[in-house]
Amino acid sequence: MDKVSVLVAAYNAARTIGKCVDSLLAQTHREIEAVCIDDCSTDGTLAILQDYAAKDSRVRVLHLDTNQGQARARNAGLQTATGSLICMLDADDWLAPDAIEQAVAVLSANPQTDTVLFDVVMEYADRSERYEMPPFDALTGREAFRLSLSWRIHGVYMTRAGIHKRIPYDTTCRAYSDDNTTRLHYLASREVRRCAGRYHYLQHPDSVTHAVSVRRFDHLRANESMRDALTSTVGDQKLIAEYENQRWLNVVDAYMFYHCHGRQLTESEREYGIKEIERVWRTIDRKALDRRLAAKFGYRPMPSWRLFRLQEWAYFTLRGLLGKNK
């Protein structure tokens, strides 16, 4: 029976970590290890985890002396993982009892498959929604990578340990960099499939990806890390060009965030944000951009930074006015 290592990075998760770990210990696939990494919590998270470990040998606890962020915490756990298959579970999420069994069954039945997506259920305060993906039986790693650029497929999965240990979590930024790891895992896979095992993904309106925060500009730096990884390890110019278009969309998106929410940031945060956008704008390979995209008002690279800013101001101002008049 394949052993599965589940990485659980936890920081001040005392309210939710019990439900998370309980869902692992209730798995119908019994050959698991829950590698729980306490990222220097200041609440009772560590004590709760240690209590679980004292009662069940499948729970192992690592404690970090300083808060290092989710990616570094997971990497610490990854170094000690002994399973032939690896997945992660956030400290406020939980798995259906047969989730791991379902994923292992797909991997066992398909020796060429390296990665299996869970069936993700988005858990909101007032409702639950399944993450809708396009129908597919098996994808090549390249196909999965391309679908993940626009998140037509999500990033919650089980993969073979060889891939995961060769490609640990990207630590460039505390947020967004894990997207890079997901995409590189897909790209390294011979096949990517899906299973019926459900992963319950708690949604937070105050998370970094939803909140008005200067950390939103970290997305641009994480994108650069991904581009560099593709350039150094893959060398596929067509694939790199596709990702360059994604980087460009994120530059425009970052400017939209700056335009719409800049007043909610401090002066120093606004200055940092606009400098980051300009810095990355200057690194875009304009020859790689899709002509239809680059010709669209609001998305044209423009010959100068000043003209680009003028275009973005006009584009998002008009969008705001049209939205108010609906």
The model's pLDDT over 138-163, given as tens digits with 9 standing for 90+, comes to: 999 999 999 999 999 999 999 999 99
Question: Residue range 201-205: average pLDDT?
Answer: 87
Asked whether residue 323 carries a pLDDT value surpassing 80, the answer given is no
Asked whether residue 325 carries a pLDDT value surpassing 60, the answer given is no
| pLDDT (tens digit per residue) in 269-317 | 999 999 999 999 999 999 999 999 999 999 999 999 999 999 999 999 9
State the pLDDT confidence band at 322, using cuts at 50, 70 and 90: confident
pLDDT, position 105 = 98
pLDDT, position 218 = 95
| pLDDT (tens digit per residue) in 229-248 | 999 887 789 999 999 999 99
Average pLDDT score over the chain: 95
Is the CB of residue 231 less than 8 Å from the CB of residue 276? no
φ/ψ of 238, rounded to 5, equals: -65, -40
Structure tokens at 228: 């560099």
Asked whether residue 32 carries a pLDDT value surpassing 50, the answer given is yes
Structure tokens at 47: 């004590």
Q: Strands 32-38 and 128-130, how do they pair?
A: unpaired
Place of tokens 């196909």: 143
User: 239: Cβ–Cβ under 8 A, 6 or more apart, which residues?
Assistant: 142, 145, 230
Asked whether residue 39 carries a pLDDT value surpassing 50, the answer given is yes
Would you call 104 exposed, middle or buried from its count of C-beta atoms within 10 A (0-12, 13-18, 19+)? buried
What is the number of helices (H) and of strands (E) in the chain? 12, 10
Is the CB of residue 11 less than 8 Å from the CB of residue 67? yes
Asked whether residue 56 carries a pLDDT value surpassing 80, the answer given is yes
pLDDT, position 320 = 84
State the pLDDT confidence band at 208, using cuts at 50, 70 and 90: low
Would you call 302 exposed, middle or buried from its count of C-beta atoms within 10 A (0-12, 13-18, 19+)? middle
Is the CB of residue 226 less than 8 Å from the CB of residue 147? no
Compute the half-sphere exposure of residue 230: CA atoms within 13 Å on the CB side of its CA: 23
Question: Residue range 60-81: average pLDDT?
Answer: 97
Cβ atoms within 10 Å of 258's Cβ, excluding its own: 21
The angle formed by the CA atoms of residues 131, 195 and 114, to the nearest 5 degrees, is 110
Question: Residue range 153-180: average pLDDT?
Answer: 95
Asked whether residue 193 carries a pLDDT value surpassing 50, the answer given is yes
d(CA 104, CA 1): 9
Q: Which of 63, 58, 47, 73 is nearest to 23 (CA)?
A: 58
d(CA 69, CA 10): 9
d(CA 118, CA 154): 9
Question: Residue range 105-114: average pLDDT?
Answer: 98
pLDDT, position 326 = 45
Percent of the chain scoring above 90 in pLDDT: 90
pLDDT, position 74 = 97
pLDDT, position 210 = 64
pLDDT, position 209 = 61
Structure tokens at 170: 């990207």
Minimum mean pLDDT range among 17-26, 118-127, 137-146, 227-236: 227-236
Asked whether residue 207 carries a pLDDT value surpassing 70, the answer given is no
